Each structure stands twice: as C-alpha cells, then as structure tokens.
Amino acid sequence: MCGIFGYVGKRTDAGTIAIEGLKNLEYRGYDSWGIACTAGKELTVSKDIGPIGGIRSEDFSAPCSLAVAHTRWATHGGVTQRNAHPHLSEDGSIAVVHNGIVENYLELRRDLKEKGHTFQSETDTEVIPHLIEEELKKCGDFAEAVRNACLHFDGRYAILALHTGSNMLVAARTGSPLIVGVEKTDGVLNGYFIASDIPAFMKHTRIVQYLDDGEMVATDGKMIRFQDIKTGEVREKREISITYHIEQSQKGDFEHFMLKEIMDQKESVTRAVNQDEGEIRTIAEAILRAKGTFLVGCGTAAKACMAAEYFFSVVAEHHVNFAPASEFKLFHHFLKPESLLIVVSQSGETADVLEAMRIARDKGSKVLAIVNVEGSTIDREADYTLLINVGQERAVASTKALTGQLAVLLLIAYAMGERLKEGRTLLLETASTINDMLNPRFVERLEVLAAKIHKNENLFIIGKSWNYPMAMESAIKIQEVSYVHAEGFAGGELKHGPIALIEEGTPCIVLTGNDEALQDILSNAQELKARGAFIIGVGPTKFDIFDEWIKVPDAGSAQAILNIIPIQVLAYFLAVKRGKNPDMPRNLAKSVTVK
C-alpha cells in the first residue's frame, strides 16, 4: 500500500534521491506524500496532500545525507497535510514513516498522553515515534529503542525511522515488505537504501538484502545490522544481485501505465508460458497426489483462481477448491499435512494471502506460490514458487499479471492431464494472436464503443464456465478505473434477481467461446435483450443478437485469456472518457498489505 523510502550514506543529495524514489513508488499510494531530511541535528520536514508526481525533485537539493520519505494510502485519519507522513517524536529528533496498521494505537496513544505527549494528527502512525522516544530515554540506543517499541505493537506493519542524534536509519517489518539496497562503487560501500519496493532505488543499485518477516535492520551508512525483533538475535544476510530492466517500469510513448501494460501482453503471455517443463510436471504431480488442493487469491488474482477451477475440471478432470484469501481461515478444518495450498498474487505481498499461507503452515500443508515479483515475501515463504515473468505493473488495475496467471494455471491443468505439449502449443498460439488482435483498429473500435456508453452509470457482464470469473473480473476492471457501477454474473443466475436491474439501453457485455456453454449464454443474452439491454458480444463468432461485436480469435480452453483483454481496453477508455486517471483510481492501492 504506502510507499516507503529511506537513505543514509556518503551522498549529500538524499532529499533529491528520496523524492525521485517516491515517484517510483507512487503506484503504492498517492493520497499524500512527505519527506524528512537531516544533515546533522537539524531536521527538515515537507509534506502535502495529493500525488508526488508533479513535485520537483530539485526543490529538495539542500545538503542532506539522511532521509526518510513516504507516499500514503490512507487507513487511519483523513487525507490531510497533518496526517501525511513522516510523523515526529515529541522532541523532534525522530521521524517515522509507516505502512500497515498499529491495531492497538488508541491504547498506546492514551498511555503516551498520560506521560505528557501531545499529538498533531489522527493517525495510528504518530504513536510510533513517541513510543520510540520513550524507549530511547530508558536504553539510550536508538536501534534498541525501536526494537522495544515494536514489542508493544499489534498488527502488520513496516516502519522506517531516522534519528538525528545517532544519524541512523532503523527499519522493522512484520507483514509489510521492506528491502535494503546496498550502494557500492568499485566494491567500496557508499550507503544504504531501505524501501518498500526495489524500483525505488533501482537507478542507484541492483544489490539487495531482504528483510524477512519479524526482522529489523539498523544502519548509519557505514555498518548494517539485521536482528530478530522479538529476541534481538543478530541475523546474517546475503547480498543478492538482481536482474531487472528499468524500461519495463517506464510508460514510453503511452499516456498511462495501464494502456502500456495492456499492450505488454503482446509479449508477456509468452514469457509466462515459457516455464521449465520439469517444474510444471512436478507441480502437476503434487496436485494429483495431494489430499485436497485449495486455490487462494485476492481481487483479480482470485478471479484467476476461480478460472483455474474450471481449467482443472474441464482439462484435467480434477477437483480443486477455491476460496478468497480473506475467507480462507474459515476452511482450515479441511487442511491436512497431505493438503496443498496454491496461492496466486501479483505483488507477492498481499496480506490476506500471507495469512492463508501461515494457516496452511500451521496445519503442515505445503504451499505453491504463483507470483510476479521475485524475492517477495510470498516467494520466499512458499515451499515452491512459479514466477509468471510478465514484468512490473505500475498501474493499480492489474492486467498483464492476470493473463500471465491464467496461462500458468492452464498450463498446469494440461500437465495434470498428461497433455503438457498440447497445452503449451495452445498457449503459445494464443499468445501470438494477442499481438495480431491488439492492432490500432481494434483499439480504436473499443475507444469508439467507450465513447458510446461512457455516460451510463450501470453495466453488466455475463459469462459461463471460465468466462464467468472473467465476467466478474471485467466488472472489477470497469469499477476500479472508471467508477461505473459494473457487475459480473454467471449467465444462468440472471433470472434469480439481477435481470430486475435491466432497463432500456442498459449496456450488457456477453463473453462467449466456441464451447459447450455457448448456446446457454446466447439464451441468457436473449433474455437481456428482451428487456431492452444493449448487447455487446465478445468472442470468436458474431451472432445476430449482438448490437456490437468485439471479435477475438478462437482459443479453445484459453478463451478466457483472450476475452478479458478487450474489456481491459474498454475499461481504460471508459476511465479516460469520464475524466478519470486509470493509473491511480481513488481509494485503491497496488499492493494490499493490510487485512
């Protein structure tokens, strides 16, 4: 959710570096932003509401070698300058930025007030620097004060604190991600970065150290020490060189990241399909052996899991169970050591998914992760990981990650049915058709359609089989970027309530494929049309019932991958036509690291 950035070292341009780092983290939060810098005992704080994107980094060029910065997605307290991070201690020597929730902050705040502390904001975060200040009075060591303060916190969090008195950065995490960047020149250490995501400091270094759950790190730019938060035990960490292409996270000639990432699917699906055959077969065998397999994800990833239920049923003739990650703890009674949990996440940091993994671990079950971000918490904590390799997503609305997830899950289903070669061929052919499909005329036609329907406040999508979860995903995409009230349904459920919402001219999208569900979904479309709906057909075949037809190639079992792409494009243009920023939808953040 929130973006965290910090630097300490030999550089004297830490303020400029921090602002640039925040801009690379803006997809994680854009309600407000803030920065605290120091070059000695003086602490300079700047913060404001709104996105960081338009702020000039050169305005923060005053000499500074220690800084923390933050871009916020509000949880506690409204979007105001006063609530923006960083927050300071009573004496002004400690600045803190924070991602997550301190669940017991009201109790801590009350105790601190009794000790004479005053608070300037409505946030849970502000108790952190005040409590660290109290602990520092007792022990005199800043890192130990942070550790002792963390022992009082309930909830999931990532904390980054600086102290002018010791010229130190100290970070701690439980549940929310933090990564250390190590900057060297010709093998000589220059300093350290600490951020919630690697792109924040990628311009400066590709050497990282991962901070695991329940750990903290302290550095003054010359030394670094990792510790267990609870015990204080010192931990050794490897320096890891990562491969990452900066151009993957740039917009290029596109106006928005969302459209750029939709177009990336011309190549990203192929990268997702190019998995090691031995690994895919090993996973397929593990699913077949397991006594109960569960698919878990949140939001868009959850719709990939729902589609996989159909993949495994139709292609592999094997039953799996799906549950939203936030609901999974209610199903723990069914888990055994022989069970398998498959978790799907773009970011690899989704709080509810991590909680599901811990529930499975407590039961002795194995965990397979399908993620996009190598080195993420889910990647590191899973027993086995498959990376979808689609490249970084910067837009909040997930697009290319979804099709990568679908491709990998369908490939596993074919391997379970001992048809891996057939599945790979189908998926590679499907990937190649995406390049042909996403041509200028296709995109322009969807823009024209968006212009035709963008004033409608209600829109409905129906599908059957694997097109049913894609109907639900279509609704998510349209809702989150254009704010149109959209709902996705299984076609056969219309008569059980939703059809009452259909009026003359209501846009209704019908997802189709040349499959066993085709006649049923066409019958459902006819029921909509009889009530005056404006029918938009998406599929390989045109039917008279369609008022508009968006042609996509015939992809057989991979039809869900192709059918969702024009809806992504339509959602994008609906947002633009309605004057919304599709990259930064209100109230949403890219990585949901709180439950």
User: Which residues are annotated as catalytic?
Assistant: 2, 590
- Length reported for the chain: 595
- Residue 383, CA atoms < 13 Å, CB-side half-sphere: 16
What DSSP string describes 363-406? TT-EEEEEESSTT-HHHHHSSEEEE-------SSS--HHHHHHH
Q: Give the alpha-carbon dihedral of 555, 325, 27, 75, to 10 degrees.
A: 150
Q: Are 27 and 76 in contact (CB under 8 A)?
A: no
Q: What is the 3-state secondary structure (H, E, C) of 424-439?
A: HHHHHHHHHHHHHHCC
Q: Are 496 and 524 in contact (CB under 8 A)?
A: no
In the three-class reduction of DSSP (H, G, I as helix; E, B as strand; rest coil), residue 144 is classed as helix
Residue whose C-alpha is closest to residue 434's, from 275, 264, 311: 264
Where b means 16+ CB within 10 Å and e means fewer, 171-199 reads: bbbbbbbbbbbbbeeeeeeebbbbbbbbb
Q: Amino acid identity of 490?
A: A
In this structure, what DSSP letter does residue 330 have? Answer: G
First vs last Cα of the chain: how many Å apart? 11
Q: Are 341 and 365 in contact (CB under 8 A)?
A: yes
Angle between helices 400-416 and 277-289 (to 10 degrees): 70
Q: Are 197 and 242 in contact (CB under 8 A)?
A: no
Q: Are 546 and 510 in contact (CB under 8 A)?
A: yes
Residues 6+ apart with CB under 8 A from 29: 1, 2, 3, 71, 72, 73, 589
Q: Are 134 and 90 in contact (CB under 8 A)?
A: no
CB atoms within 10 A of CB 448: 11
Cα dihedral across residues 358, 360, 362, 365: positive or negative: negative
Rounded to whole angstroms, how far apart are CA atoms 200 and 218?
A: 19
Rounded to whole angstroms, how far apart are CA atoms 449 and 485?
A: 17
Q: In what helix (H) or strand (E) does residue 113 lie, and over which residues does it extend?
A: helix 105-114
Rounded to whole angstroms, the maximal C-alpha distance in the chain is 78
Residue with tokens 């924070």: 98
Q: What angle do CA 492, 497, 498 make, to 5 degrees?
A: 75
Does the N-terminal peptide bond of residue 86 adopt cis geometry, omega within 30 degrees of 0? Answer: yes
Residue whose C-alpha is closest to residue 562's, from 476, 463, 493: 463
